[in-house]
Structure 1
Amino acid sequence: MDAARKYKMGEKASWLVKLHWTQYVSLDPFGAYLLACSHGWTTQAKDAAQSLLGGTIQEIEVSYSPSMEDMSTQHYHRLLTYHARCSTAIFSAGSATTTWLDVKARKMMLCRHSVYYDMDNVAGWVAPAITRAVVILLPRPSPRTIKEAIASAVLVTLIQETKCGSCSFPSAYATFGDSIARKVQQLIDAVRGSLYQFGTVLTVYS
């Protein structure tokens, strides 16, 4: 980018980078975040910051790029603040079934063994699975986290140990994971909205 600007090709280079931004973020989200901040690309910075939620805050703390030497530390601080606040948002949401599962998901998880067949009688595995999902999400507060193989294996094992014979599985688990992921996205979107001001300057609110 700097070389391109030197030879008066900055706008074209910026366009090419933005065109392939999704691929760049997937390959190097930390480098993408720093690049976006250095050029005042607010939307791209937000996207890269969200991608970094798939890792732990400790992984961000040990990340390094030569471009950090020429940048204000406020961009780095904002990234850490964003990650921490997303984890806090998930923790603060609690573990209530109605918080994490939408109506469609709860319908898929009603306990057929219950005498009272209503929306309050979700299968017995649901509550402990939500609690475990929240624990899994806290260090890596991303919708992707709940869909990863390790998280899925942990949750499936827990569900298998606690479900009754009438529980719908694995279709109910797929719905469970999708509903949890949607809620995580809602929570981090709310943090993203409060953390970043519109325009080219990114603002952290205390």
Structure 2
Amino acid sequence: MSEAVETITANPPFDNPDCDIILRSTDGVHFHVFKLILSLMSPVFKDMFTLPQNGLQSEVSSVPVIHVSEGSTTLQILLLLCYPAATATFDSLDDAKAVMEAARKYDMQATLSRAGDLAIAQFLPYHFLELYSLSCRFGWEHHAQTAATRALEIKDLGRPSNEFNGMRDITALDHHRLLIYHYECGVAAQAVGDSLSWLGISSKHPMWRECGGCKSTSSRALQVGNLGKLTIAMWFDEYLVSSGKDLFARPCESTLMESAYYNRAIVKATACGLCRITVVESMDRFRTSYMAQVKKVVAIVKLRQSS
């Protein structure tokens, strides 16, 4: 009986005529592979090869042909991930998901792990929430932590508007873990501005220097480096409070770099003839230290382990 779908041979390295098994994709592509490699990577294939091969025979040889339920795109990447010297890439995150599901079906644990590493490397900058979902589904806690850290860039994560692709694939518990992590990072980041004891400085700056020409001093005193408790300027106090609220909602360094409150603070400081001389340089140095401290305290917070 002739085959209904015309078959073609896959691209190298899956066109080897010395193969001892052929996998046929749903779209009629023949992958010439070796039982030994597949048996080492997959106990499912290993068991399958112990059964009588009653399927089709190749038109050009007596090599058995096994039908699989994957298309050629999925099957090619899956097999490339099985071959140690091969290089694989995904064209899309949907392709990655299909390969991961196939690897799980065939119990290819090493291949599944390689697929996860590859997906993180390719898609993390733009698909971190979907990758968080996938990492939770497959039990990759280290990748879940990486994706959750990138999710700190989302302001007010957890509001109804923050629906994302992959949410249907995530459990309520794993989504809750992500929200707790985002909240705890926000608390830690906001607290950085409550005390400046972490500043490695030994001299005064216009943010806390009482100058004769500046009457915009607030009543709040903060521990400032090794200088003790100092009353800070009103414009600087407003900057710390406002940037702290932003950090609570979006606890990442870029929040400080993009904050409109930074320029607003400098504009207010330049109203003082003495402060305006050094405020730009001083605030630039402070923001650099501020960002480093936020990064440091957020890095201490960890995604809670899945129970």
Unaligned runs of 5+ in 1: none
TM-score, normalised with respect to structure 1: 0.73
| Contact 1:133-1:146 within 8 A present in 2 as well | yes
Bigger relative contact order (CA 8 A; separation at least 6): 1
Q: Which amino acid aligns with 1:63?
A: E
Amino acid at match of 1:84: Y
Distance of aligned partners of 1:89 and 1:61 in 2 relative to their CA distance in 1, 3 Å threshold = farther
Confirm whether residue 161 of structure 1 aligns to residue 268 of structure 2. Answer: yes
Deviation at 1:9, TM superposition (A): 5.3
- In structure 2, the residue matched to 1:63 is 163
Q: Give the conservation status (yes or no) of the 8 Å contact 1:109–1:123.
A: no
Report if aligned partners of 2:186, 2:249 keep a CA contact under 8 Å in 1.
yes
- Distance 1:91-1:147 versus aligned 2 partners, 3 A rule: closer
Residues 1:12 and 1:91: Cα distance change in structure 2 (over 3 Å):
same
Q: How does 1:41-120 map to 2 (within 5 A)?
A: 41-55=140-154, 56-58=156-158, 62-65=162-165, 67-92=166-191, 95-98=194-197, 102-104=199-201, 107=203, 109=205, 114=211, 119=227
Kept in 1: contact 2:192–2:293 (CA 8 A): no
Whole-angstrom CA distance in 1 between matches of 2:114 and 2:255? 31
* 1:57 match: secondary structure: coil
Q: Which ranges in structure 2 are unaligned for 5 or more consecutive residues? A: 1-99, 213-225
Greater helix percent: which structure?
Answer: 1
Question: Deviation digits for residues 56-79 of structure 1, max 9, x if unmatched?
Answer: 2245763233x4434432101111
CA distance in 2, matches of 1:45, 1:184: 21
Q: CA RMSD in A?
A: 3.2
**Alpha-carbon distance, 1:86 to partner:** 2.0
Is the Cα–Cα contact under 8 Å of residues 97 and 126 in structure 1 kept in the other structure?
no
Q: Which has the larger radius of gyration?
A: 2
TM-score, length of structure 2 as denominator length: 0.51
Following the alignment from structure 2 to structure 1, what is the Cα–Cα distance between the partners of residues 288 and 130? 29
- Structure 2 vs 1, CA of residues 95 and 15 (structure 1 numbering), >3 Å: closer, same or farther? same
Aligned-residue sequence identity (percent) comes to 24
